[in-house]
């Protein structure tokens, strides 16, 4: 593949990320740590460090651990609703991380400005065209559009619909596409429609370099697409961001907890925000039980619907080669 044959949007994505292949690793809590992030970047992709379950100083150590394994570019994912977000932003600036993905909410303008003034490129998630335009105006250097097919916390709209809604109308910044992407043909299709690159999570769970428990990886290999289901919201009194995972006893435990918290909120025994935070803590703990400890029955086996196309454990490099083979 020569530079002359590479689609313009793909070239734009590579230049923005500073990599050979505009394939971003999805930031998966507990799993997108320094081993996997460095492996993706070293293979020519763009690893993204997940900080959702980390204190600030541990995240700083992870940044340095990535740099000890590779000199290639990588990014870091910060959760907007995290009360410690200002401290994380300061750490990112001090450690001179080149790219920052802000997720889990709409970041304040001051957060975006602080990062950009320090030379950090800011990437934001856009679930609709209206919000995409607003985020560009707010200062986003790039956008990520993630469809309902993805694993973990998801929005209500499919990747294919988001691509048609957003890509033709956002030209000011690069736009990366995520959700349900598992092979080279799909990557090429997204780029042909104007995507600057893709973000992939589910396939990298079964990367050799991923620290996920062997039982967790085997559940991915055995699963079908229909096994990755989304949690439901039982009552609008307690808004719940849907989570896609392989259905198991952990899913049932979450449902029971949600019903209990709905009752507590309705009776005034617990504030809505407190209940929502308790649900988030449940997912963080449940994911660790499954992904790290190997309890795939009672833990949360978060996976996108593309899990049905995961058939073996491969190196991060071989996964990336498959994802770009049609470009």
pLDDT at 53: 76
Q: Phi and psi for 17 in degrees, rounded to 5? A: -85, -25
Q: Phi and psi for 251 in degrees, rounded to 5? A: -60, -40
Say whether pLDDT at 4 is over 60. no
Say whether pLDDT at 2 is over 70. no
Q: What is the pLDDT of residues 191-219, one digit of tens each?
A: 999 999 999 999 999 999 999 999 999 99
Output the CA–CA distances (angstroms, integers) from residue 53 to 28, 30, 49, 78, 273, in the order listed.
Answer: 10, 7, 11, 10, 18
Which band of pLDDT confidence, cut at 50, 70 and 90, is reported for residue 230?
very high
Residue range(s) of every CATH 3.20.20.70 domain in the chain: 3-210+312-324
Say whether pLDDT at 19 is over 90. yes
Structural tokens at position 12: 């734009």
pLDDT at 68: 98
Output the CA–CA distances (angstroms, integers) from residue 62 to 3, 182, 293, in the order listed.
Answer: 34, 27, 20
Provide the sign of the torsion angle of the four alpha carbons 130, 136, 138, 141, taken in this order: positive
Q: What is the pLDDT of residues 63-81, one digit of tens each?
A: 999 999 999 999 999 999 8
Q: Please give the average per-residue pLDDT across 262-281, as a whole number.
A: 93
Say whether pLDDT at 35 is over 80. yes
Range 3-210+312-324 classified under CATH 3.20.20.70: yes
Of 154, 180, 326, nearest to 240 by C-alpha is 154
pTM of the prediction? 0.95
What whole-number percentage of the chain has pLDDT above 90? Answer: 93
Q: Where are the alpha helices (DSSP H) in 79-205?
A: 85-95, 109-117, 129-138, 159-166, 184-192, 202-205
Structural tokens at position 298: 């009672």
Of 322, 319, 327, nearest to 3 by C-alpha is 327
Radius of gyration of the chain (CA): 19
CB-based contact 7:191 (threshold 8 Å)? yes
pLDDT at 1: 52
């Amino acid at each position: 593949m020569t530079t002359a044959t590479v689609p313009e949007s793909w070239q734009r994505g590579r230049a923005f990320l500073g990599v050979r292949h505009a394939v971003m690793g999805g930031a998966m809590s507990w799993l997108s740590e320094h081993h996997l992030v460095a492996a993706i970047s070293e293979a020519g992709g763009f690893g993204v460090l997940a900080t959702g379950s980390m204190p600030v100083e541990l995240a700083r150590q992870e940044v340095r651990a990535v740099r000890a394994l590779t000199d290639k570019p990588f990014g870091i994912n910060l959760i907007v609703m995290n009360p410690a977000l200002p401290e994380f932003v300061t750490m990112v600036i001090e450690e001179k991380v080149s790219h920052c993905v802000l997720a889990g909410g709409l970041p304040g303008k001051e957060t975006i400005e602080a990062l950009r003034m320090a030379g950090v490129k800011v990437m934001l998630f856009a679930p609709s065209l209206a919000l995409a335009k607003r985020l560009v105006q707010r200062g986003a250097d790039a956008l990520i559009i993630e469809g309902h097919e993805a694993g973990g916390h998801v929005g209500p709209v499919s990747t294919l619909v988001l691509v048609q809604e957003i890509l033709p109308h956002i030209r000011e910044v690069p736009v990366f596409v995520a959700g349900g992407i598992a092979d080279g043909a799909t990557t090429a299709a997204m780029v042909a429609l104007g995507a600057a690159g893709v973000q992939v999570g589910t396939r990298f769970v079964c990367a050799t370099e991923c620290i996920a428990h062997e039982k967790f990886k085997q559940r991915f290999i055995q699963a079908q697409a229909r096994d990755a289901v989304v949690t439901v919201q039982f009552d609008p009194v307690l808004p719940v961001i849907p989570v896609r995972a392989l259905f198991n006893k952990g899913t049932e435990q979450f449902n029971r907890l949600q019903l209990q918290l709905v009752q507590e909120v309705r009776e005034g025994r617990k504030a809505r925000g407190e209940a929502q935070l308790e649900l988030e803590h449940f997912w963080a703990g449940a994911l660790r039980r499954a992904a790290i400890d190997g309890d795939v029955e009672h833990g949360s086996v978060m996976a996108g619907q593309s899990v049905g196309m995961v058939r073996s454990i491969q190196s991060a490099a071989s996964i990336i080669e498959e994802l770009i083979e049609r470009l």
